[in-house]
Structure 1
C-alpha cells in the first residue's frame, strides 16, 4: 500500500502524482521563507486536483515544519492523497543541538508505523517514506549517520528511502553506502535532484543500479536546469530507464510558491511529455512509476 496521512491507499488509486514537493517547510537556512500558509497550500492542491492530480508526496522531514495536522485537514478538504516523510535533512537545516541524543532509527521507524508529529495517538498522520540527504560530492558524518538509520528503519518496515542530493551530486556515494554496504535494495531508493547536475553519464549509471530517479522542477527556487529537464527525461527513457523516472515540483520557499506550482506538472510538462514520448510513457512517469515507488 501507499501510506498516506489519511491511511493506506491501494497504489492503483494513487492517480497522477507530484512525487516530490513541499506544502510546508521551515529551515534555519531559509529565514523568512517559511512555507507555513495552509490557505495557500490548499489553493495549490485544488489547482492540481482540477487538472486531474491525485497525489502529492511531501519530502519535508522531521523537525522542519511538516505540519502533519494541516496535511491531514488538507487531504480531507481537497481529496488529494498526501504522503508525509520522516527522516532528516542536512544538519545545517536544524538549530544547534536540536538533533543531539536522538535515536534516529527508532524515531524513523516509529513515525512509519504510527502517527508522525502531533496528530494524536492512534490517529491518522503516519509517514509514508524516509527522507535523508547527502552532501556536495560526498557524505559527511551527519549524512552517514542518517543514511544508516534510514537503512535500519527500512529493514524494519520496508519503507522507501528518498535522498536529497546536493546540487545533484554524490549519487554514487549514496548508492554505495545504502545498497552495497547496508543492503537496501536499489528499487527501494529514490534519488532526488539528479537533473541539477546534468551529467547524463552519471544519471545513466545511477539508473543502471535499479534506483528511481526523481527529477524536480520547474520551480522558481530551483530553476537552473529547467531547460534540461525534458531532454533528460527523453534521454533516460530512450536508454531504457523510463520505468524508474518520477517528477516533482519541489517548491521550497514562500517566494517560489505558485511559481509555477504543482499544477504545472500537468498543465505544462505533461503535454510536452506526451508529444515527446507518447501518452503511455507520460502516464508511466506521472502515475505508474510513483505507484510502485511509494508502495510498501
Structure 2
C-alpha cells in the first residue's frame, strides 16, 4: 500500500501532517474574478502553509477547472510539500453548457480517470499522457440536495475507476447535503465506504449524522474553518469533538479549501491557507488534545489516501 503523489509514490508513514483539501491552480465560471492562476503566488501560499506546520496537501482541482498537473508538480518541487493530485469531475455548476466534458461518453470518463492515475494526466481538454504527473485521488461532486444526471455519470465513472485502480474518492457535498445519497450511489456501484470521503460534511454541522456516517466507515471532510459567514469556528470544533467522542475520530479529515485568490495571502487576500494549521488546529488541540490532532492530521489521511499501487 502506498500513496501516489505528483513527485512519485511514497509510503503512508512518509506523508506527515496533511491538509486533505486545497486548490492551488484553479478557475471556474462559479469563481469569476477569483481565479488561482499565478504559479508564483500559489507557490508562495504553499510555503506559508508549510511554514505553519503542514507537510502534505491534496490538490482537489478536477478536470475543466484549470487543473495544471505540471504546475502543481513544480510547486511541490519548489516548496518541498508533498502533494496528491486529483483526477475527476466537479459538480455540474462548474461547467458551461458547451463544455467538452459534457460530450464525453460515460465509459470514456472512466478510461480517462484510470489513465490519469496509472499512466499520466491529461491537460484541460487534452488527450491522456499530456503529462507524466500521476493523480492519486478521484474527485466528484453533487449539488445542493440534488445529484444531476451529469453528476451521477461522473460518480459512476469514479466508482468504475476506483474498482480498477483502488484510488480513493472524495465527493464535494454542496453545503453538506445529500451525504447518504452519495454514499449509497457509490457503495451500490461497488465502492467500500472506507474509500469515500465527503468534502464539506461540516457545512451541515450535525454530529449525529456525522457519527452515523463515520460508523459506516465513511470519512468526513471538515474544511470550513474561517468561514464565519456560516458560523464561528467554535461550532465546528464542538461538532468535531462530539463526533470524536461518539467514536468517529478515525474518520475525520481536516482541510482548508481556501480556493480563491481573494482568500490567499499571496494574492493579497485573507485568511490564507495557513489559517487552518495556524488558527483552527490549535483550537482543536486545546479542546481535544494533541492525540486527537495527530489522528486527524496524520493517521487518517495516510490511511485514506493509501491504495495498492500498480
Q: TM-score, normalised by structure 2?
A: 0.90
Matches within 5 A, 1:276-291: 276-291=287-302
For residues 33 and 48 of structure 2, what CA distance do their matches in structure 1 show? 25
Task: Say whether residues 1:127 and 2:145 are aligned partners.
Answer: no
Kindly tell me the number of residue pairs found equivalent between the two proteins: 294
Structure 1 vs Structure 2 CA RMSD: 1.8
TM-superposed CA distance for 1:262, in Å, is: 2.5
Aligned to 1:234: 241
Task: Say whether residues 1:97 and 2:98 are aligned partners.
Answer: yes
Runs of at least 5 residues in structure 1 that lack an aligned partner in the other structure? none
Secondary structure in structure 1 of the residue aligned to 2:30: coil
Runs of at least 5 residues in structure 2 that lack an aligned partner in the other structure? none
Task: Say whether residues 1:217 and 2:219 are aligned partners.
Answer: no
Aligned to 1:48: 49
Secondary structure in structure 2 of the residue aligned to 1:133: strand
TM-superposed CA distance for 1:59, in Å, is: 0.8
TM-superposed CA distance for 1:131, in Å, is: 0.3
Among 244, 251, 257, the residue aligned to 2:251: 244
Pick which of 185-194 and 45-54 moved more: 45-54
TM-superposed CA distance for 1:288, in Å, is: 0.9
Deviations 1:97-131 (A, max 9, x none): 22233221111111011221349959641011000
TM-superposed CA distance for 1:78, in Å, is: 0.7
Task: Say whether residues 1:191 and 2:198 are aligned partners.
Answer: yes
Aligned to 1:141: 149
Among 145, 161, 164, the residue aligned to 2:172: 164
For residues 229 and 200 of structure 2, what CA distance do their matches in structure 1 show? 12
TM-superposed CA distance for 1:226, in Å, is: 4.3
Aligned to 1:150: 158
Matches within 5 A, 1:200-211: 200-211=207-218
Aligned to 2:181: 173
Deviations 1:222-274 (A, max 9, x none): 85144321111101110101011010000122112232222222221222222
Deviations 1:54-108 (A, max 9, x none): 1010111011111111111111111001111111012221232222332211111
Q: TM-score, normalised by structure 1?
A: 0.94
Secondary structure in structure 2 of the residue aligned to 1:18: strand
